Structure 1
Amino acid sequence: MNDHRPAPAEAASASPAVNSSARRSAEKAAEEAAEVRRFWGRLGLPGLIDVHTHFMPERVLNKVWEYFDARGPLTGGLAWPISYRQREAERAAVLRRFGVRAFTAMLYPHKPGMARWLNDWAAGFARRTPDCLHTATLFPEPGVETYVREAIEAGARVFKAHVQVGAYDPADELLRPAWGVLAEARVPVVIHCGSGPAPGKHTGPGPIARVLARHPRLRLIVAHLGMPEYEDFLGLAERYREIRLDTTMAFTDFTEALTPFPRRALPRLAALGDRVLLGSDFPNIPYPYLHQLQALERLDLGEEWLRAVCHDNAAELFGPA
């Protein structure tokens, strides 16, 4: 006897309530994409370049999401819902619908022996994702200079370092030759070295200032504008020409409620307008992507500043997207 009644899961997926919810979600996503595209269209840009987006092996990213869900210590115990909890291909598609012409695969180890494996994965991701800037990472461990060289030779265009999660001193002697290789190759490094959202043993401007004293030509992109030590990291950028800052999560309602950017420092940020780059932390953000752009716009630093931050500075640094 053939029974054509739908299985419970099939019945649920076909229910009007589920279909209606999926439709509303799709409509909301389409509306946000249209608003993002209107944002950069008004500025006369061909799209956006986002230097701080996360792609990593799925099981690693799932562990990251579990950490956020559990309000782990490094999140400051904050409620942190992930706004774009989707599979890899769909996350990339979301960025493309937004008009993000180039993005990164920010990935990072939290223990020795992990970086080379992550770099191998990232090389494969870059091959199958041509609009992703080939990203690599590093950790203070024997052999770091070798695998940093290998990653650069394989085409890595940007590195990620996470002092907070890795719990290491960026001025560690084990990293010294690797920083030298990166400085010589002029490959930028996006580095989370500020003490937000929770301080670490080696976060803050002091350790990274020691690195720069040894490697003044190192192209560091300070993530999150160095929050909460904004003014200290502005000072480093004013001192070292190759220092840049990314906007990741800065000025959003979420961050301003916790670690507001000092308004007295806005003229300094405006003066560094050629070295500030758009970053978002996509997909690991507790609000819509559009809000990051709106937060930058409401600073009222002018369209020229916005054009530079949202596209032109990164295009100059990495080449046309």
Structure 2
Amino acid sequence: MTNEAGEVRRFWERLGLPGLVDVHTHFMPDRVLRKVWDYFDGLGPLTGGVAWPITYREEEDRRIARLREFGVRAFTAMLYPHKPGMARWLNGWAVDFARRTPDCLHTSTLFPEPGVETYVQEAVDAGARVFKAHVQVGAYDPTDQLLDPAWGLLADAGVPVVIHCGSGPAPGKHTGPEPIARVLARHPRLRLVIAHLGMPEYEDFIDLAERYQEVRLDTTMAFTDFSERFAPLPRRALPRLADLGERVLLGSDFPNIPYPYVHQLDALDRLGLGDDWLRAVCHDNGARLFGLH
């Protein structure tokens, strides 16, 4: 076990937890992941000149082993298309990955295109437990009429959707809270998990979580030294996050993070919101959402 794995384990052992549930980790076909890494390698100009080195630029087997060493009981394979015709192929890969990686929550994705409702239903029938939507990378409007039947299907099925819809690290044409508010107005039971706490429009997305009972937030990269340099979360929002404690979920963005995994945990700890909040965020909320025993 690495020294870092020991640090991560001491964190959750101190809280009396059986491990961690991380709802925002990335696994995808190797050639797709390497293109993602290339994107982050060139992201410095979009983050105020702050470089974004990939801490866990390793082979798939090693990345899975690391999460297990950290004591992550359940994690995801956040994968996403950037063009039509790609989502169904990614979902096929994800079926195989979930089959050979039982501690990964079977993850699927979608894109606004003809046939999206059909392949989303196929993914749900195949056992998908969470979906990933990436408004920024996909450069699509989440209110696109092509997506409307899929959102309705996922709302009815109760399958959570982790959605990157905030304007960080770089804004897109359709990022921000307004399009998501319109989706939720049509599908108020849709279990959206707002990635990165909606960075940098944190308070607008907290508004939505307060308005819609099925909306959740994930902590991915929030409060870390890296993110605080270019997208700090206003400390006046912390009491509201404390009140939403049952609907805030641990996310990390592993392996695509520019610091060690344990730093995300330390960043949450130093908020001073208490051990009960940490236990809920780092394990119990995710375990309840996904029915983990």
Q: Following superposition of structure 1 onto structure 2, how do residues 1-321 of structure 1 map, counting pairs within 5 Å? A: 30-71=2-43, 78-320=50-292
Kept in 2, the 8 Å contact 1:68–1:75? The answer is no
1:147 alignment partner AA: Y
Structure 1 residue 77 displacement after superposition: 5.9
Unaligned 5+ residue runs, structure 2? none
Give the Cα–Cα distance (whole angstroms) in 2 for the partners of residues 73 and 218 of structure 1: 35
SS of the residue corresponding to residue 257 of structure 1 reads helix
Sequence identity (%): 81
Give the Cα–Cα distance (whole angstroms) in 2 for the partners of residues 253 and 272 of structure 1: 23
Give the Cα–Cα distance (whole angstroms) in 2 for the partners of residues 114 and 73 of structure 1: 28
Give the Cα–Cα distance (whole angstroms) in 2 for the partners of residues 176 and 80 of structure 1: 35
1:145 alignment partner AA: E
Deviates more, 1:59-68 or 1:236-245: 59-68
Unaligned 5+ residue runs, structure 1? 1-28
Give the Cα–Cα distance (whole angstroms) in 2 for the partners of residues 76 and 276 of structure 1: 28
Give the Cα–Cα distance (whole angstroms) in 2 for the partners of residues 181 and 151 of structure 1: 11
Q: TM-score, normalised by structure 2?
A: 0.98
Structure 1 residue 71 displacement after superposition: 2.5
Give the Cα–Cα distance (whole angstroms) in 2 for the partners of residues 73 and 169 of structure 1: 25
CA distance change for structure 1 residues 76 and 116 in 2, over 3 Å: closer, same or farther?
Answer: farther
Deviates more, 1:64-73 or 1:103-112: 64-73
1:314 alignment partner AA: G
1:303 alignment partner AA: D
Structure 1 residue 78 displacement after superposition: 3.9
Give the Cα–Cα distance (whole angstroms) in 1 for the partners of residues 192 and 49 of structure 2: 28
Deviates more, 1:66-75 or 1:213-222: 66-75
RMSD: 1.2
Q: Which deviations, in whole Å up to 9, do the C-alpha atoms of 1:149-207 show, x marking residues without a partner?
A: 00000000000000000000000000000000000000000000000111100000000
Bigger Rg, which one: 1
Q: Which deviations, in whole Å up to 9, do the C-alpha atoms of 1:41-70 show, x marking residues without a partner?
A: 000000000000000000100111111112
Q: TM-score, normalised by structure 1?
A: 0.90
Aligned residues: 293
Structure 1 residue 320 displacement after superposition: 1.3
Q: Which deviations, in whole Å up to 9, do the C-alpha atoms of 1:240-296 show, x marking residues without a partner?
A: 000000000000000011111100110000000000000000000000000000000
